[in-house]
Amino acid sequence: MLDLERLRALHSVATYGSVSAAADVLHVTTSAVSQQLAKLERETGQKLLERNGRGVRLTDAAELLVTHAERILSLVEQAQADLEAHRGSVVGQLAVAAFPTAARGLLPGALCALRADHPDLHVQLVEEDPLRSLPLVLRGDYDLAVVQDWNNEPLPLPDGLHKGVICDDVADVALPEAHPLAGRDSVDLKELAGDAWISSSPDSICCGWLLRTLRSVDAEPKMAHMAYEFATQLSLVAAGLGNAILPRLGRCDVPPGVAVVPLAAPLSRRVYAIWREEAARRPAIRAAIRALRGAVPADVPAVTLVPS
């Protein structure tokens, strides 16, 4: 009979590309993964890995076995979810990824509520950009991810994932205090077309969205500086080095020298939680959704949809 943990080791090598990467994901040593694979080769009577330069590659037999392992591991997860649902208890482990402002503006309250209401549920939070967290939830690295999309650019959801809406979030523009439009009640994005901008790192969802949004109002963006943290972006704005888009969720303290001005045509983003289809019945998932919605700040509109 094939051993589940040995199949999991092989599946991780196939997914992450190397024995060492699989060991990191499984939180074991490379030696432990190699031993699991050696035992699996003896069980199957087939060679599963071959040397490929400095690394390894899967044999045809291993590729065939990985296809079955994906289905087996999915069924195991579904069985665990069904058992939890049958028992109705919020227990076990829950790995959660969240983009930075959600990690700051939602997760502290949600995690405290979960700890108080469900002491047998152990939650681990990792800060992650939505573009990276989506595939990691799909692969099983995280059980749940908090992601975002913008009203003018929906985030495609891969097959196999479910989502529940947490809240809507409005964004303002942060201008240097000396900017000619800093004293306005509102500003049109087109009026800022020729300005310099400050955004997050080039590979983040927010940077790509800002570039496309500015181009949509006939402006080729001048990306002056890039910094992942909003606090750093605002410090650069305060120094007069450019403008920044500033969502209200998880907003940090606005430093002196920065004027926050609403946009005449509001830009808003929708905040979602996503999880794998196989885990949809887990009480822990539903409890986490409730806790996230309960942690929405008063100045951010919550959305009271029931996750399917």
- The string of pLDDT tens digits covering residues 268-277 is 889 999 998 8
Regarding the domain with residue range 89-161+271-294, which homologous superfamily does it belong to in the CATH classification? Periplasmic binding protein-like II (3.40.190.10)
Instruction: Tell how strand 196-199 and strand 222-226 pair up.
Output: parallel
User: Residue-wise over 182-208: b if at least 16 C-beta within 10 A, else e?
Assistant: beeeebebeebeebbbbbbeeebbbbe
Q: Do 245 and 160 form a contact (C-beta atoms < 8 A)?
A: no
* Cα–Cα distance for residue pair 73/76, rounded to 1 Å: 5
pTM above 0.75, yes or no: no
Q: Which fold has domain 169-268?
A: D-Maltodextrin-Binding Protein; domain 2 (3.40.190)
The CATH number corresponding to 4-85 among 2.40.30.60, 1.20.1260.10, 1.10.10.10, 2.60.40.10 equals: 1.10.10.10
pLDDT category at 119 given cuts 50, 70, 90 is very high
Mean pLDDT value of segment 160-181: 93
Assess whether the region 89-161+271-294 and the region 169-268 belong to the same CATH fold: yes
Domains in the chain: boundaries: 4-85, 89-161+271-294, 169-268
In this prediction, residue 84 carries a pLDDT of: 60
Mean pLDDT value of segment 75-100: 75
pLDDT category at 305 given cuts 50, 70, 90 is very low
Given a cut of 70, whether residue 246 has pLDDT beyond it is yes
